[in-house]
Amino acid sequence: MKFIVNTNQLLNKLLGVSGTIVSKPVIPILDHFLFDIKDGKLTITATDLETSMSTSLDVQSDEDIRMAVPSKMCIEMLKALPNQPVTFTLQADTNIIELKSEFGRYKLIGQNADDFPRIPEATSENSFNMASGALSSSIVQTIFASGNDELRLSLTGVYVQLYKDNVVFVATDANRLVKIERTDVKPGVEASFILPKKALNLLKSSLPQDDSECHVDFNDSNAFFTFGDVRLICRLIDERYPDYRAVIPTENPNKLTVNRTDFLNSVKRISIFGNKSTNQINIKITGSELTISAEDIDMSNEAVERLGCDFAGEDMEIGFNSKLLIELLQNISTPDIIIELSTPNRAGIILPNQNMDDEHLLMLIMPMMIASAS
């Protein structure tokens, strides 16, 4: 049994799905690709049992073939070859795979395709469509705020809430929170689930940045994403997401408007002089002046800067973790931002000064205690 394929085309497809493969799999066949050829179309699948990806391309073959091919060796071999047709020949009884190029022949040992894990199939219990670019943007703007603490598993992913006429993406690590509401998606169903970080990172790097559709199916245990010739399947995080709405303050009488780039650059400079264990900076607002300061008492370092701003409310001073604040500011695209505050011990809300018609972004950051207010 054999087939012929172009090296560059095959390599690009293998690299696209190889992100699911882990370095130390629980069973040996998980570091293999499943090659499945039917009617001249090669479907390539990779999985770690939690996340699976598949893609396809046309090849020259007169028969249907299934084989499990070692991922690392196959990729390294294709990278070492110039762009040319190569012939794969499979000996089904011995699992020997032979590659033939213009330069010579290469033999490697695969595994029986029947031993490859079964990939979940969508049951079409619930589904909706979403523009690939919009899904990618929603992932990028939320995933960085998700947590890494395995003891709080629900916070390690992105929470997706579906409504009849909109969808909400939420991520938090308990110190900051990002919420995006999209009204350009009409799921037509009310449901919620938590997507794991690995699958989100794979989607982020694979989704086209355009208006082409991504079809999403989901059930109680898995989510299925189909776009172009790529399919990604992930096991959902089976945890209850905390009530994020309870931590978002609704009464914020103090509203600060400031240039995002100027504020971001100032925070970056000031944070250099702050305590490296706490990353704390202090923000003091008096009238139309914003003072940003930090100090490291142990090292006798300190810095202060002042920026012009528009402020409506009572003068106040509040502390934030500069590292978390910088990441939030870097994920807003508008020239100006609005920071809504209530008291120094309550969370601050960061908003773009104008939301897009179909995307509403809200960011939250918890405050840090100021040792000695001035």
Helix axes 260-271, 322-330, angle to 10 degrees: 150
Residue 177: CB atoms within 10 Å: 24
Find the length of the chain: 374
- pLDDT value of residue 372: 54
Contacts for 86-91 with beta carbons within 8 Å, 24 or more apart? Answer: 86/4, 86/5, 86/6, 86/7, 86/10, 87/2, 87/3, 87/4, 88/2, 88/3, 88/4, 88/5, 88/35, 89/1, 89/2, 90/1, 90/2, 90/65
Q: What is the pLDDT of residue 125?
A: 72
Whole-number Å distance between alpha carbons of 128 and 135: 12
Spacing of C-alpha 221 from chain mean position: 19
Rounded Cα gap, residues 33 and 79, in angstroms:
16
Neighbouring C-beta atoms of residue 184, cutoff 10 Å: 14
Element (H, E) at 374: none
List, in order of start, the domains of the chain with CATH numbers. Answer: 2-115 (3.10.150.10), 126-244 (3.10.150.10), 248-365 (3.10.150.10)
- CA diameter of the chain: 81
Residue by residue, pLDDT tens for the chain (374 residues) are 899 999 999 999 999 999 999 988 889 999 999 999 999 999 999 999 999 999 999 999 988 989 999 999 999 999 999 999 999 999 888 999 999 999 999 999 999 999 999 999 887 678 999 999 999 999 999 999 999 998 999 999 999 999 999 999 999 999 999 999 999 999 989 999 999 999 999 999 999 988 899 999 999 999 999 999 999 999 999 999 999 999 999 899 999 999 999 999 999 999 999 999 999 999 999 988 999 999 988 888 999 999 999 999 999 999 999 999 999 999 999 999 999 999 999 999 999 988 777 899 999 999 998 865 44
